[in-house]
C-alpha cells in the first residue's frame, strides 16, 4: 500500500500543475494553489490529519470544475474514493450560475460527511480571500450576496466539526462586518 504522505504529495503536485496558469479573483491575484493548500490545511487542522482521502480531496477539489482533469484521471491516479469526493463538490457547469448557487444551498446537506467538511473549508477560504483581497470588479452588493450565500451553504453542513465551524464563523463575521452583510 502506498504511504499516505506519498499520496498527499502526489495530490499537491497534480493540483499545482493542473491550476498552474490560474489566479484567484481578488485584487492580489494570488496563485490559485494557495486556495487549495489553505483548504487542505484547514481540513488537516480540524480533523487531526487522520483522513488522507479528505485532505487529497481538499487539494483536488477544484480540478474537475476548473481544469481539464476528468473523473477517470482522478480515479486512476488517486482512487475512486477521492474522485467521488471531488465529484461531489463539483458544480454542474452546464447550469446557469444562479442555479448552481441555489443547488449548493439545497443539495449540500445530503452529501457525504467528507463533502460537507470540504464545503465548510472551501467557503472559509473564500471568505478570507474576499476580506484580504476583494475582486476589483465586484460591487458592494455582489460582495454582500456572496457572504450571505456562503453562510447559507455552510448552515446546511453544521454539526460535524466544531473547529472547522468556528473557523468559518470567524471568517464570516469578519466578512459580514467588512461588507455589511
Ligand atoms: Zn474552492
Q: What is the pLDDT of residues 52-77, one digit of tens each?
A: 999 999 999 999 999 999 999 999 99
141 membership: H or E segment, kind and range: helix 140-155
By C-alpha distance, which of 59, 12, 71 is closest to 35? 59
By C-alpha distance, which of 127, 53, 44 is closest to 89? 53
23: which strand partners? 31
In the reported structure, the alpha carbon of residue 36 is separated from the centroid of ligand 1 by a whole-number distance in angstroms of 7
The domain in which residue 42 lies consists of 2-179
With residues binned 3-state (H G I as helix, E B as strand, rest as coil), the percentages for the chain, rounded to 5, are: 70, 0, 30
Split at pLDDT 50, 70, 90, the class of 181 is confident
Split at pLDDT 50, 70, 90, the class of 2 is confident
Q: How many domains does the chain contain in total? A: 1
**Residue 98: what pLDDT?**
93
In the reported structure, the alpha carbon of residue 20 is separated from the centroid of ligand 1 by a whole-number distance in angstroms of 15
Which domain CATH number covers 35? 1.10.3210.10
- The cell for 81 is 474514493
What are the Cα distances from residue 176, in Å, to 17, 94, 124, 129, 146? 34, 31, 13, 13, 10
Return mean pLDDT, the chain.
Answer: 95
Query: Which candidate in 4, 66, 145, 169 is catalytic?
Result: 66
| Mean of pLDDT values over 86-106 | 93
Amino acid at each position: 500500500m502506498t504511504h499516505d504522505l506519498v499520496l498527499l504529495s502526489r495530490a499537491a503536485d497534480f493540483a499545482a500543475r493542473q491550476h498552474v496558469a490560474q489566479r484567484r479573483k481578488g485584487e492580489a491575484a494570488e496563485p490559485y494553489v494557495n486556495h487549495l493548500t489553505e483548504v487542505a490545511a484547514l481540513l488537516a487542522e480540524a480533523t487531526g490529519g487522520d483522513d488522507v482521502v479528505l485532505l487529497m480531496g481538499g487539494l483536488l477539489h477544484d480540478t474537475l470544475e476548473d481544469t481539464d482533469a476528468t473523473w477517470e484521471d482522478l480515479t486512476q491516479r488517486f482512487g475512486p474514493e477521492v474522485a467521488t469526493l471531488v465529484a461531489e463538490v463539483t458544480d454542474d457547469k452546464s447550469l446557469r450560475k444562479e442555479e448552481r448557487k441555489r443547488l449548493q444551498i439545497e443539495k449540500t446537506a445530503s452529501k457525504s460527511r467528507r463533502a460537507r467538511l470540504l464545503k465548510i473549508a472551501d467557503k472559509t477560504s473564500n471568505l478570507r480571500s474576499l476580506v484580504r483581497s476583494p475582486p476589483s470588479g465586484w460591487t458592494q452588493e455582489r460582495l454582500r450576496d456572496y457572504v450571505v450565500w456562503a453562510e447559507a451553504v455552510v448552515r446546511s453542513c453544521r454539526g460535524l466539526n466544531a473547529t472547522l465551524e468556528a473557523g468559518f464563523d470567524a471568517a464570516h463575521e469578519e466578512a459580514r462586518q467588512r461588507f455589511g452583510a
